[in-house]
Chain A
Amino acid sequence: MTYQASDFPGRSPVYRRWQDQPATPVGDTLAPLVTGGAGGAQCRLRDLSALPRGGLRGADTQALLQEAGYALPAQPNQLVQSGATLIARLSQTEHWVLDTDPAAPSDLPAVQAGRRVYTLPCQDSHAWLVLSGPARAEVMAKVCGVDMRPAAFAPGALAQTSVALVSAIVLHHQLEGEDVFSLLCDSAYADYLWGALLDAMAEFDDAAIGSGAPPDASA
């Protein structure tokens, strides 16, 4: 079945960048369909903005998540990957939970009154782009001052930094068996950042552009 993004109330901020590609519904949003990872490409850019994510912060956040059974990163600026779920720790008191498998979204624990825990609208405040392929660290070196070579920025690393002059959170994790960078940026800057990344990718042969969600999404 062919879908149109405009048939769904939820829309990725960059849906026009991939709207001519096969797509599949994720909740009330359309997500681009992907067949495998970067494949033979040097680098690939995908849009995972439709996939579920949420955040909590406040003094009691760590305790709440631990009570709910989440394994949390030991330090800020780290992430823990548990299957298709990423738990990113942005500060002593702020955690984001991102699901690369839309079929099994994590339900963040309910916040009881009186606890110092506040929800974060990550699904809307931030777009979720994924940069994959062997040249991903080199692409990032053209737009970001953080050393993202594997030796310096191993899977499990997280950087809150500037990418192409806009604030972004970069996560190094696994997706479909390959190491990738997830980039979370202000959704209003997403179209700009998408273009800036394409520009940085342009020098690499076989740079693949556009398609998005993991294959499970089509299931």
Chain B
Amino acid sequence: MSKQRQGLLITGDAPVQFTFEGQRFSGLPGDTLASALLANGQWLQSRSFKYHRPRGPLSLSGQDANTLVQLGPEPNVLADRTPLSEGLSASGQNYVGSLAKDGDSRLGFFGRFMPVGFYYRAFYKPRGIWDRWEKVIRKKAGLGVLDTQREAGYHDKQYLFCDIAVVGAGPAGLAAALRAADAGASVLLIEQDPYIGGSLAWHRYDVQGGAAAAMLADLRRVEAHPRIRTLTDATCNAWFADHYLPVIQGTRLYKVRAKQTVLASGALEQHVVFHNNDLPGIVLCSAAERMLALYGITPGNKALVLAGNDQSCRSALTLADAGVQVSAVVDMRASPDDPALLQALSERAIRYIPGHTVYSARGSGSQGRISQAEIRPITAPGEVGNTAETIDCDLLCMSSGYMPAWQLPCQAGAKLSYQDEVAGFRLSGQAAGVHLAGSVNNIFTAEAVVKDGERAAAAALAALGYDVDVPESVSCALRPNYDWPMFAHPKGKEFVDFDEDLQLRDIVNATRMGYRDIQLVKRFSTVGMGPSQGRHSALPTARLVAKATGRTISETGVTTARPPFAPEKVAHNAGRVLHPYRQTPMHHRHLEAGAHMVPVGDWQRPAYYGQPDQARHCIESEAMHVRNAVGLIDVGTLGKIELRGPDAAELLNRLYTASFDNMEIGSTRYAIMTNEHGVVIDDGVACRLGETHFYITATTSGVTRVYRAMTQWNAQWRLDVDILNVTGAFAAVNLAGPLSHKVLAAAGTDVDISAAGFPYLAYREGQVAGISARLMRVGFVGELGYEIHVPARYGEALWDALIKAGRAFGIKPFGVDTQRLLRLEKGHLIVGQDTDGMSHPGELNLNWAVDRKKPFFVGQRSVAIMKREQTQRHLVAFELPAGSETPAEGLLVLEGAEVSGKITSCAYSPTLDKVIGLAWASSAHKKPGSQIVIKSAGGEPLTATVVKLPFYDKALSRQEIQA
């Protein structure tokens, strides 16, 4: 009964109800989905990828693909890593019909017709057949069902800083953490499992039992240590340079920044390769021990142990002591290393059969669980004799040895070398500051593992400057790896790689087809490319390829283990999706006035005031209001730069095309900036506040670039000038329209705003509505207007004051889309919209803004050359009569069949009752009166007339106070 289960992770006895494959089950708090299913006798948990073979847990630690299930909308969830929760609903995946009766399991019978690499050699002949096959293959490809509509939910990231990161909280990691923290270092201990202790929590380290528990009790000191932070259920998914470790825990990605790393990542127990070694009920010895210790599950009634080392013999003792009938220990070796094991097995009436292996297994029942194993004597590496004995069993525990968890060390630069005397790989040569400890370092006895952890910590401490003695390297005499645990069978199905259903002959055949390099074998056969990434297939594959190609296993090696170590979600990498935004001080006033806000870079700006379905009406009525009365626009997003110092004018001279030496204090000047290629990259207005003080505006999107250019150039020039980006420090509005001066007067100002006192293009400072302000008489929208800049904290109050003062004059706010129409009527271009990455001043009719006499400005030489050249294109102004289609910006301008340009700006002008626009066109058509042909959205040609700018107010009278 499940109520009686006692396990390290079982935290209560209240049943937890869940369903799997539509069937109701009950587990216990602390169970994983896989353990709860096992406790209910449900061994069949998945179907294999290729042959749809029944599969159950292999490692029960999330290191294999046998427990991949569909969890609601999420495919490929490891059942042995999924905590059980009330109402959880899961199902198997990759089947036709049901998990128990998978119609595709018949594919196994055709295995001989689907040799390795057959995908690459089939389905493409005769020509055109792929189109038919593709549908079938795509249907069969992949595991699980992806819900493309699913929201990822809340994921975030956090940095974690420490002196020493210890990956793995087994005995080596715990010992390392304690040694380091006791010496004063801050330690981050990262453990993939939900508990600390690693194998001490479930493995029997001595024949009598009990040594592990005593050792763990001592090491549990980490839990209360003030300098150790422990993350359990947390996977370190990579080692990156400078000890940057991404660690995933739940929905959070920790970005760990350590100064030193101790990798105590353990070793992966390896399976034995024999016929039908993948049946449910065939597990690694460690899995059976986990079932017992962690979840209190009796893994079987009649067990057989296939041993390649003393560890697996001790597993047999543990099983027997837990009440499991262990029929025999079939040991591939001639004898155990520890003779006391024979006595202990004998005391428990467990047969010990040395020099034998399980040659094949048979499954039965609805779950295909193992029911019989055939054992045979080993006569030579990989070969067996003819004497066969069949043993009934419902559990087969196997261990052929261990593979150091090589992924993180190899990412840290370590190399694997195979050592024949221990029949295993050893890691060495990792980056400075990375220290291996414990079984990843081929140390296996508990005492030696602890010492190795302490040694690694001491080495890390010494590297951090602690005055510590670093012990000599720790040695371990244990030899837990059996050198050739692979036994070919005439019927095949001796799986090397469970993920991809790769059998012994698949690997060997790959080498026979000429793929001798391990990386090519991988790509051809797909070995190691499944979800478990070669955790159990890398070692046998290296051995097989080495033998088949006549090389050493070290020469053969294993394939690259790139990050991530375990699957991670895009949502983990995305974390919080932050979208920085900037708001002007008047932002909420725009919202209150019903503005339709649009993003402009990070800024949020009102496009117009009103509903989007009324956009054109809103824009046109706002525009007419500015032309006929008065409007107010928030231009606080404009870039603003202060230049102060004796060389301020000189810096401007060198960076902008105009000359600034002769500018009068209290005046403004239009300024365009070119880059070294003579391309116009920004424009704005320069105001001279004093002899050595300028205030420059730049475009909203260009100011960062302008500021960067200024500081970058001045790093070379070393001019005596201070360059300060004050974009956010000033709020700004443009009060525009024939009544604007009346509104300004009504708001209250001490500035003389008479026509003579404040002429066009002048700059003044004074009070506006009691607020200190900088005022500019500029005419971007083509009407009398005042650009008013105030310290940002007063921006909202300024807006409020102007709106209040303007009520008597019918003031209305207008948005940036309206401004775009108004400036188009006035013929002002927008850098970035009407220009591109090649536009030089001559093409843009901006030669007037280029001072040809001054000695230098950035781009001067290029501008001069381009001026001499016969230009191919020109930015022209065009008109279409009222009632014409308004061609969209971006539509092409044609010259015969050739494209000669495109429309950059176009709108219907309610003021002029015409369609007006700017377009790139052939230079041949730049003269007013020329005709250009626009390819309309429907493909029909539209003939437009080129005109002289401005479209509106050719007399330039509107920018003055109207009589």
Contacts and interface: CB of A to CB of B under 8 A. Distances in A.
B895 interface: no
Main DSSP-derived SS at the A contact region:
mixed
Contacts of B755: none
B722 A29 contact: no
B654 interface: no
A37 interface: no
A186 interface: yes
Given A125-B726, A147-B257, A196-B578, A6 B800 contact: yes
A156 interface: no
Contact of B160 (A49, A141, A166): A141
Contacts of A186: 582, 728
A108 B33 CA distance: 67
B580 A124 contact: no
Interface in B378-431: none
A37 B790 CA distance: 33
A27 to B, nearest CB: 10
A125 B585 contact: no
Contacts of B796: 6, 11
Contacts of A57: 722
A164 B580 contact: yes
B404 to A, nearest CB: 32
Interface centre among B160, B186, B728, B730 (most CB of A within 10 A): B728
A124 B793 contact: yes
B724 A13 contact: no
B350 interface: no
A204 to B, nearest CB: 12
Nearest to B692: A113
A147 B159 contact: yes
A92 B587 CA distance: 36
B229 to A, nearest CB: 11
B794 A188 contact: no
B722 A58 contact: yes
Nearest to A149: B161
Interface in A14-62: 16, 29, 49, 57-58
B791 interface: yes
Given A123-B793, A142-B157, A166-B580, A118 B729 contact: no
Interface in A168-219: 186-189, 191-192, 196, 199-200
Contact of A120 (B257, B645, B724, B800): B724
A1 interface: no
A65 interface: no
Contact of B585 (A13, A164, A192): A13
Contacts of B157: 142
Given A57-B722, A142-B158, A191 B583 contact: yes
A151 interface: yes
A12 B796 CA distance: 10
Interface centre among A49, A144, A147 (most CB of B within 10 A): A147
A187 B729 contact: yes
Nearest to B160: A141
A9 B794 contact: yes
A104 interface: no
Interface residues of A, number: 41
Given A10-B793, A144-B159, A147-B159, A125 B576 contact: no
A165 interface: yes
B731 to A, nearest CB: 8
Interface in B239-273: 255, 257
A118 B794 contact: no
A20 B722 CA distance: 41
A188 B638 CA distance: 12
Contact of B792 (A118, A125, A147, A152): A125
Contacts of A196: 576, 578
A10 B585 CA distance: 10
A121 interface: yes
A109 interface: no
A142 B157 CA distance: 6
Interface string A84-109: 00000000000000000000000000
Given A125-B728, A187-B729, A16 B792 contact: no
Given A10-B793, A199-B576, A189 B726 contact: no
Contacts of A149: 161
B585 A165 contact: no
B665 interface: no
Nearest to B636: A188
B120 interface: no
Nearest to B161: A147
A152 B161 contact: yes
Nearest to B581: A192
Contacts of A145: 159, 255, 257
A30 to B, nearest CB: 11
Interface string A124-156: 111000000000001001101101010110000
Interface string B722-764: 1010111110000000000000000000000000000000000
B797 interface: yes
Interface in B576-597: 576, 578, 580-585, 587-588
A200 B730 CA distance: 29
A13 B792 contact: yes
Nearest to A27: B793
A141 B256 CA distance: 10
Given A9-B794, A9-B797, A144-B159, A189 B576 contact: no
B529 interface: no
B644 interface: yes
Contacts of A58: 722
A16 B588 CA distance: 9
Nearest to A164: B578
B803 to A, nearest CB: 13
Given A6-B800, A9-B770, A118-B724, A188 B793 contact: no
B156 interface: yes
Interface in B481-503: none
B576 A124 contact: no
A188 B724 CA distance: 16
A196 B603 CA distance: 17
Contact of B794 (A10, A120, A147, A189): A10
Contacts of A124: 728-730, 791-793
B793 A116 contact: no
A192 B580 contact: yes
Nearest to A199: B576
B836 interface: no
B571 interface: no
B159 A141 contact: yes
B720 interface: yes
A188 B791 CA distance: 12
Contacts of B728: 124-126, 186-189
Contact of A165 (B156, B160, B578): B578
B697 to A, nearest CB: 16
Contacts of A121: 726, 729-730, 791
B624 interface: no
Nearest to A113: B692
Interface string B762-786: 0000000011000000000000000
A126 B159 CA distance: 26
A121 B730 CA distance: 9
Contact of A138 (B158, B770, B793): B158
A147 B800 CA distance: 43
Contacts of B770: 9
A21 to B, nearest CB: 18
Contacts of B578: 164-165, 196
Given A118-B644, A147-B161, A188-B584, 15 more contacts: A10-B797, A13-B793, A118-B645, A120-B724, A124-B729, A124-B730, A124-B791, A145-B257, A165-B578, A186-B582, A187-B728, A187-B792, A187-B793, A188-B603, A191-B583
Q: Please list the 8 inter-chain residue pairs (A to B) with the smallest Cβ-Cβ separation, ordered nearest first.
A: A125-B729, A188-B582, A147-B161, A9-B797, A121-B729, A124-B792, A124-B791, A124-B729
7 contacts: A12-B793, A123-B791, A141-B161, A152-B161, A188-B583, A188-B603, A192-B581
